[in-house]
Amino acid sequence: MIQVRHLTKRYGSTRAVDDLSFEVEPGYVAGFLGPNGAGKSTTMRAILGLDRPTGGETLVNGRPYAALRRPAHEVGALLDAAAVHGGRTAYDHLRVLARSNGIPDRRAAETLEQVGLAGAAKRRVGTLSLGMRQRLGVAAALLGDPGVLMFDEPVNGLDPEGIRWIRHLMRDLAKEGRTVLVSSHLMSEMALTADRVVVVGRGRLILEASMEDLREKFKKDVLVRSPSPGALSRVLVEAGASVTADHDGALLVQGLDAPDIAGLAARRQIPVHELTPRSASLEDAYLELTEDSVEFRTKEGAR
C-alpha cells in the first residue's frame, strides 16, 4: 500500500507538490494523472526516498522508504528508463542490481524472461532501443518481487505491441494483489488500464475516483444559454442538478436532461436561448478537470 500524506515539495520558489494526500491499495491499477509539470514524478521520487519532502510524508506498507528493511522486496519502480546507459549487458545490469539488493542472481534471468528480453540478455544496455530499455527498467522494478510497483509514464517509447504488453502486465500485477501506481499525462491511456485515478494539477489533488465514477460523473451534460443564468442556475440546483459556468457564460448542467431543464425554465418563465445535450469523452473530462474551471452554484454566490 502507498500513502501520501500532506506531501509538499518545493524547489526554490516552485511548489512541485503542494499538500498532496492520497492512498493506493493493493489489487487494482491506480492511474496517477496530470499535465506535464503537475508533480507526478516528484511524488514518486518522494515515495522512493529519492527526494526529501519539504513537508508531509510518504509511506510504503506503512513505513517511510528509509525505514523499509528490504526495500527492493517491498517496492519496485520504473522512473526514467531512458536514463539507463552503459556498457554492461542487460543481464549484468540486472545481476549487479540484484546483488546490491540481496536478491538471488536467478531473478535477473527470470525477470528478463518476464519482460520478453531473454533474447537480448547479452546485448549492451547502450545498444538497446528505448522500448527495450523500458522493458529492462520494468525487469529491474520486478527483481525483488515487490508488492508495490510504480511506473512513471511507462508507455513512452514503446511500440503498439509493447504498449499492449505493459497494459497487460500492470493489470496482471494488480490481479496478483500488488499495489500498482502508474503515471501518465494521457487520460486515453489510463482509460484502458486504470481502475482508479488520482488526478493532480500544479502539485495539488484535483480528484481521486474510480474510473467508473469518473465515467458516470462526466457521462453527459447539457449546455444551456440564458440571459438570466443566475436565476436559472438556482432553479436547476434546487431541482437537484449540478451546474457549472462555462468560460463564456453558458451553464453546463448535469443531473437533469434537456426536456427537464426546458420544463423548469418554462414554469419559472426564464428565457432559454440554447439547450444542447452533450456527452463528454473522458479526455474532455480530464481537460476540464485540469483547467482552472470555476464551479458556480447558487449557494456559493451565483448572480
- Residues near ligand ATP (CB under 6 A) are 11, 14, 16, 34, 36-42, 185
Q: Give me the least distance between CB of 42 and ligand ATP, in Å please.
A: 3
Q: Give me the least distance between CB of 48 and ligand ATP, in Å please.
A: 13
C-alpha cell at 86: 552503459
**40 vs 133, which CB is nearer to ligand ATP?**
40
**180 vs 232, which CB is nearer to ligand ATP?**
180
Ordered DSSP codes for 58-107: EEETTB-GGG-SSHHHHEEEE--GGG---SSBHHHHHHHHHHHTT--THH
How do strand 221-225 and strand 274-278 relate by DSSP bridges? antiparallel
Q: Give me the least distance between CB of 172 and ligand ATP, in Å please.
A: 25
Q: Give me the least distance between CB of 51 and ligand ATP, in Å please.
A: 8
**46 vs 224, which CB is nearer to ligand ATP?**
46
**Residues 25/1, Cβ–Cβ less than 8 Å:** yes
**42 vs 58, which CB is nearer to ligand ATP?**
42
Q: What are 10's strand-pairing partners?
A: 15
Q: Give me the least distance between CB of 78 and ligand ATP, in Å please.
A: 13
**39 vs 144, which CB is nearer to ligand ATP?**
39
**185 vs 297, which CB is nearer to ligand ATP?**
185
The owner of cell 503498439 is: 160
Q: Give me the least distance between CB of 41 and ligand ATP, in Å please.
A: 3
Residue 149 belongs to what H/E stretch?
strand 148-152
Residue 141: CB atoms within 10 A of its CB come to 23
Q: Give me the least distance between CB of 8 and ligand ATP, in Å please.
A: 12
Residue 290 belongs to what H/E stretch?
helix 282-290
Give buried/exposed letters for 73-112 (b at 16+ CB in 10 A, else e): bbbbbbbebeebeeeebbbbbbbebbeeeebeeebbebbb
**248 vs 292, which CB is nearer to ligand ATP?**
292
The one-letter amino acid code at 145 reads D
Cβ within 8 Å of residue 127, ≥6 positions away: none
